[in-house]
Structure 1
Amino acid sequence: MKLRTVLFAGLSLVAAAGPSFAEGYPEKGRPVKIVVPFGAASSTDLLARSIAQGISEISGQPVFVENRAGAEGVIGMVSAKAASPDGYTLIMTTSSTQILNPYLLPQISYDPVADFTPVTGIAKFSLVMNAGPGVKQKTAEAFIQAARSEPGKFSFGSGTTTTRLAGELLQYAAGIQMLSVPYKSMAEAMTGLAAGQVDLVITDLPSSSAHYKSGRVRPLAVTGPARMKARPDLPTLQEAGVRGYEMTGWWAAYFPAKTPAPIVQAMRDLIHKASETPVVKQAFATFSLEPLFGTEQELAALQRNDLERWGKLVREAKLGPASTVKE
């Protein structure tokens, strides 16, 4: 009887203590930092800034973005994992750092599962196949035919593991050979494409759309299973004859590992409410994004499934080094 009483009392204390972690969170006036492991004006940066503004508008809480770019997102993720798990350092990143880096980089100094606590998904996106000024072909289908007839003539640039994998998969699925040219960031990759340093860059619409006005960068196709609402004129690569090709990614928010669940839930609720603000809605419409808001459990399940799916594909296609993620 005494043991039962002690156990009951202990459980009651734990239950009562749980919500206290989030009581008064976020503390009024205390800034929340969003770490973006990519450069300023990158797609992740632009979306993070809209989310930050949305959170500030609905809560009055100061929120700012800190860019920690380099090494295909690794520098920012390592910095974020070392932050205090108190709810004042949020990480906004992509499936590049959470799914593909472990398979495509020789070594990474963070574990995308063990070092972070999922908060919520943000958005899903397709990529755009962009041609530079040296490409004379007007369509994706014509470009692929030219690449097949002259193996090794064309090149593609990348600035993240997602964009590198997109180019590698195009070679694999279309039966073509191109030179892979990695850049330090997507901004540099797109600048290189516009300058004619490379022939092709497959990246998201936010990263590429600013270059269309000059006419030196032309979108040829999209990588998703359907056409983009923002660019319905662009065919999918499957429509262009690349059977089975599909490349999509996602953005999501994480806290450092061991962040208390009530704080995670409180931030998830803030992000979901922020998604209804005009600034976030405009970002989603402009960049043709598909909402991915959900629970932390749903994000964790998505990450597990994608680690398995993309790991299998990378190994089958022999596209990268062995995984560093413990399975």
Structure 2
Amino acid sequence: MTRSITRRQALAAGAAAIAAPAAFAQAAAFPGKPIRLVVPYPPGGSSDIIARMVSNLLSDALKQPVLVDNRAGANGNLGADQVAKSAPDGYNLLLCDVGALAISPSVYGKLPFDPSKELRGVTMLAYSPHLLVVHPSVPASNLKELVALSKQKELNFAISGTGGANHLAGVALQQATGARWQYVPYKGGSQAIQDTVSGQCQVMMNGMLATLPHVQSGKLKLLGVSKKTRMPLIGDVPTIAEQGVPGYETGTWQGVLAPRGTPEAIVQRLNTELVRAIRNPDVRARLAGQGAEVVTMSPAEQDRFFTQERKRWGEVVAQAGIKID
């Protein structure tokens, strides 16, 4: 049996036939100018550190400058929105904490963009667990003592921004332990670290990549790690799961995203070169020395990860009643 083709279907098929060669030509010529790698946080955080590790290698591979552009604001949403609204041609990319980006739709009532519809995955790059740290003056040496202390005196908990990954990590810990603390939001993880080091805040959970140097220098005291297993790099420090919160695991997932509609050939080229850059032995060794592990994904795998994280943290947000209009 034959089926007649409607005029609309014929027009759509014709448009696709016309667009395909144009997209192929665009991908074949890519890149023909500098690429902007937007980090939606201030310098010094985990995403910024990784962006600067891979940008030169990516530039060498693509034969074009790759410029790291810090666009901080609104807990990373300002820079993410700029990339989401940019031309889908591969020249504007977003390198951020993908988990934090997945949280935003649940927290922000008026988010100016929909990351699920306006951004697509290119690849994940690295994962590092959160470290639960306190200022050295805090009289607690483990999670149980910290929870007890939080019920006796007011503690300030530094976060990189309301609704960020480390904020939700703290909320999940509160829900599991009954701890009490006051969240103090900053414009990025590096500023949150600075105020915890100075003693203006007493508690923080932050990505290991940016936080470990301050633990090693003695400026912060480490109470636990949000990973399934202990990490030899930080000695005999127990996981948070071991300290009475079974299954507790959080962290920062740095990855690269592009505007949806970016030609598949360009996305795949970027995936190939970014994976090669992050797996560079020197980069891998530097990351491992700071507690981060290389984790790469295909574009489709990263999109699935984003969907899973959005569902997971949406439940935490709903239970905590966190909402920003």
| TM superposition score normalised by structure 1 | 0.87
Q: Name the counterpart of 2:108.
A: 105
Q: Name the counterpart of 1:73.
A: 76
Q: Secondary structure at the match of 1:220?
A: strand
Q: Secondary structure at the match of 1:208?
A: helix
Listed as ranges, the matches of 1:130-141 within 5 Å are 130-141=133-144
Change beyond 3 A, Cα 1:277–1:177 = same
Q: Name the counterpart of 2:154.
A: 153
Q: CA deviation at 1:88?
A: 1.1
Q: Name the counterpart of 2:30.
A: 25
Pairs aligned (count): 315
1:254 lines up with 2:264 in the alignment? no
Change beyond 3 A, Cα 1:244–1:285 = closer
Checking the alignment, whether the CA contact within 8 Å between 1:94 and 1:251 is kept in structure 2 is yes
Which amino acid in 2 is paired with 1:225? K
1:171-208 CA distance string (max 9 Å, x none): 11111211121122212211111111111010011221
Q: CA deviation at 1:44?
A: 0.4
Q: CA deviation at 1:97?
A: 4.1
1:10-69 CA distance string (max 9 Å, x none): 677666555323112122xx2111000011111100101111122123343321200001
d(CA) in 2 for partners of 1:38 and 1:21? 31
Checking the alignment, whether the CA contact within 8 Å between 1:132 and 1:217 is kept in structure 2 is yes
Change beyond 3 A, Cα 1:13–1:109 = closer
Q: Name the counterpart of 1:283.
A: 286
Q: Return 56-65 or 218-227, whichever deviates more.
A: 56-65
Which amino acid in 1 is paired with 2:156? S
Residue 226 of structure 1, aligned match among 219, 225, 229: 229
Q: Secondary structure at the match of 1:34?
A: strand
Checking the alignment, whether the CA contact within 8 Å between 2:128 and 2:291 is kept in structure 1 is yes
Residue 320 of structure 2, aligned match among 311, 315, 318: 318
1:246-292 CA distance string (max 9 Å, x none): 22331111112221111111111111121232342133312322333
Checking the alignment, whether the CA contact within 8 Å between 2:159 and 2:204 is kept in structure 1 is yes
Checking the alignment, whether the CA contact within 8 Å between 2:158 and 2:196 is kept in structure 1 is yes
Identify unmatched segments of 5+ residues in structure 1: none
Which amino acid in 1 is paired with 2:25? S
Which amino acid in 2 is paired with 1:255? A
Q: Return 92-101 or 69-78, whichever deviates more.
A: 92-101
Which amino acid in 1 is paired with 2:150? A
| TM superposition score normalised by structure 2 | 0.87
Listed as ranges, the matches of 1:183-198 within 5 Å are 183-198=186-201
Q: CA deviation at 1:216?
A: 2.9
Q: Secondary structure at the match of 1:230?
A: helix
Q: Name the counterpart of 2:126.
A: 123
Q: Name the counterpart of 2:301.
A: 298
Checking the alignment, whether the CA contact within 8 Å between 1:173 and 1:243 is kept in structure 2 is no
Checking the alignment, whether the CA contact within 8 Å between 1:98 and 1:113 is kept in structure 2 is no
Q: CA deviation at 1:144?
A: 2.5
Q: CA deviation at 1:237?
A: 0.6
Checking the alignment, whether the CA contact within 8 Å between 1:34 and 1:89 is kept in structure 2 is yes
1:165 lines up with 2:168 in the alignment? yes
Q: Name the counterpart of 1:92.
A: 95
Change beyond 3 A, Cα 1:213–1:14 = closer
Checking the alignment, whether the CA contact within 8 Å between 1:97 and 1:112 is kept in structure 2 is no
d(CA) in 1 for partners of 2:307 and 2:221? 35
- % identity of equivalent residues: 28
Q: CA deviation at 1:314?
A: 2.4
1:67-111 CA distance string (max 9 Å, x none): 001221121112222222221111111134421122233432221
Which amino acid in 2 is paired with 1:300? D
Q: Name the counterpart of 2:67.
A: 64
Q: CA deviation at 1:319?
A: 4.0
Checking the alignment, whether the CA contact within 8 Å between 1:93 and 1:252 is kept in structure 2 is yes
